[in-house]
Amino acid sequence: MALTLSYSTPSLMGTIQVPGDKSISHRSIMFGAMAAGITTVEGFLLGDDCLSTISCFRKLGVEINLDGDKVTITSGGESSWEEPAEVLDTGNSGTTTRLMLGLLAGTSFHTVMAGDESIAKRPMKRIIDPLRLMGADIRGRRGGQFTPLAIQGTRLTAIDYTLPVASAQVKSAILLAGLKAEGRTRVTEPVASRDHTEIMLEHFGAAISRNDGTIEIEGGQTLTASHVKVPGDISSAAFMIGAALITPNSSVRLTNVGTNPTRTGILDVIKKMGADFDVEERQVSGEPAADLTIRSSALSGIEIGGDLIPRLIDEIPLIALIATQANGTTVIKDAEELRVKETDRIAAVVSELAKLGADIQATEDGMIIQGPTPLTGGIVKSYGDHRLGMMEAVAALIASSDVIIDNPACISVSYPGFVEQLDSLLN
């Protein structure tokens, strides 16, 4: 069912807590399932993707109980996992599919994993190649490039691997497989990607070393059950940040947002564009966090590329929208990874923002946006991609007439209750 949004000259005021970080929530379940004992999690994201992770681990025999955003994971450790009788359904979640490949490669049993239509198109070779070098036995469509994937657990040996793409999912899958492998695994990343796996490995008692872009982990270590506090997701907060920046007369406070430096590229970008905002820092279980106050701002176009891209990769649809309201040209480059996300996010963002009157053009590895342009209403598609759906809902705040979003249900992948929370800020 489509969602019709019509806002006439709104302003946004108030304080909200955005839902828990998706990347950290996934990992909290995986680490809790690997560790023998009882792991507790607070601030867990009850989004569809993280629920897919829970459902996969329940099928492996791990006991997981939910009480609001609190989770209790009771596990006998990785060695107690059972061969699942059913296919593990990873839904729309790339993180679940890819990190679980690393975890399942070193078991003693057989698993089959599959997700939705979007997952079936996302590249898995980048994960399977290094895992095969470790000895993994993984088969899939087109030589293992795509799901469904069949994994026959086997003994793994350590590798020394340099990532060809900046990807936290590839890095994490190798490190998680490395935890079970014989020997010392080394992963080198040319550009830093999010490091939640490294932080959580240490938090659960594993010894790892991190030096100049190389992470090392000795195989055969066991994890100790722990307590995880999940901060708010900066990738979700980004939509509220963008909403406050482009809606006149707005001031929005976002509490307890994760500000791990590998994720705060969005804050660097808005600062460079001239945004008016404050950051008050806090600390949450090894992961930094802050309260952010964002006010409507006059923005200028900038160039975004290079090492900054992995630090804001999921925020680019929103950045493209705010660039339509900035003075001058915004160029986003080095972001070809966007083409293999839930949908081709370069093509989708350009086509849908153009429908709303934006002056935006696709390039091979990004986009060029001229601003400011007033946005009109119109019928737009989410392509089943949560980040597209939310960007379009934020665009509706400044559109001159109704914005009708086709297939808005996907928003619950990472931000259940997003539209309601946005509406609660309306003045």
Write out the residues near ligand SPQ by the rule CB under 6 A.
22-23, 49, 93-95, 167-169, 172, 193-194, 313-314, 337, 341-342, 387, 414
Longest dimension (CA), the chain: 62
Do 355 and 388 contact (CB within 8 A), yes or no?
no
In the set 21, 48, 291, 314, the catalytic residue is: 314
Smaller CB distance to ligand SPQ: residue 180 or 345? 345
- Of 172 and 296, which has the nearer Cβ to ligand SPQ? 172
Shortest Cβ 91–ligand SPQ spacing (Å): 9
Task: With CA atoms as reference, report the closest residue to 20 among 228, 295, 270.
Answer: 228
Q: Name which of 291 and 314 has its Cβ closer to ligand SPQ.
A: 314
CA distance linking residue 107 with residue 184, whole number of Å = 18
Beta bridge pairs of residue 38: 74
State the minimum distance, in angstroms, from the CB of residue 8 to ligand SPQ: 31
- Which residue, 59 or 194, has its beta carbon nearer to ligand SPQ? 194
Of 116 and 216, nearer to ligand SPQ (C-beta) is: 116
Q: Beta 3-5 vs 403-406: how paired, if at all? A: antiparallel
Least separation in angstroms between residue 185's CB and ligand SPQ is 18
Nearest to 296 by CA among 244, 374, 253, 237: 244
Helix, strand, coil share (%) of the chain residues, nearest 5: 35, 30, 35
Phi-psi category of 417—alpha, beta or left, where left has phi over 0 and alpha has psi -120 to 50? left
Please name the residue that has the structure tokens 């809902």: 393
For residue 307, give the DSSP letter: G
Helix (H, G, I), strand (E, B) or coil at 247: coil
Closest CA to 49 of 412, 393, 390: 412
Angle between the 94-104 and 125-133 helix axes, to the nearest 10 degrees? 10
In the complex, what is the shortest distance from the CB of residue 79 to ligand SPQ, in angstroms, rounded to a whole number?
Answer: 25
* Closest separation in Å from C-beta 197 to ligand SPQ: 7
Residue 314 appears among annotated catalytic residues: yes
Name which of 189 and 251 has its Cβ closer to ligand SPQ.
189
**Please, are residues 63 and 76 in contact by the beta-carbon 8 Å criterion?**
no
What six digits make up the tokens of 251?
Answer: 């001031």
Min CB(342)–ligand SPQ separation in Å:
5
> Which strands sit side by side in the sheet containing 251-258, from one edge to the other?
13-17, 251-258, 287-295, 276-284
**What positions carry a catalytic annotation?**
314
